Amino acid sequence: QVQLVESGGGLVQAGGSLRLSCAASGSIYSINVINWYRQAPGKQRELVAAITRGGSTNYADSVKGRFTISRDNAKATVFLQMNALKSEDTAVYYCNTPQGPGGTWGQGTQVTVSS
């Protein structure tokens, strides 16, 4: 079993930056991929970025060039550096790994970008 805890959300002005963290515990040896998702009010949850244990990354088109996903394997933590934030980035951000029924999810962290 794996447990995930997000942190780092908050309120920022458009154009600002935040760095989100996803700390993993439990059976971390079984984790091959960590995903960042976000869900805005009234919208479907969408995949924002992903990183593999080996360091391969992928991004949604809407965040390419602005967001960077990275990991610190020694600390079992994945980061999402969010720059040039826009109001459309406002959402609850969740980290996820495909393990267990429906995957394993953190509790989410709120990101609010004011215009």
3-class secondary structure, 63: coil
Nearest in space to 37 (alpha carbons), one of 96, 111, 110, 109: 96
- Would you state the pLDDT for residue 101? 83
- Would you state the pLDDT for residue 99? 81
Query: Which contiguous run of DSSP H or E holds residue 23?
Result: strand 18-26
C-alpha to C-alpha distances, 109 to 5, 8, 29, 74, nearest whole angstrom: 9, 7, 24, 23
- Would you state the pLDDT for residue 10? 98
- pLDDT tens-digit readout, 11-68: 999 999 999 999 999 998 889 999 999 999 999 999 999 999 889 999 999 999 999 9
- pLDDT tens-digit readout, 55-100: 999 999 999 999 999 999 889 999 999 999 999 999 999 999 998 7
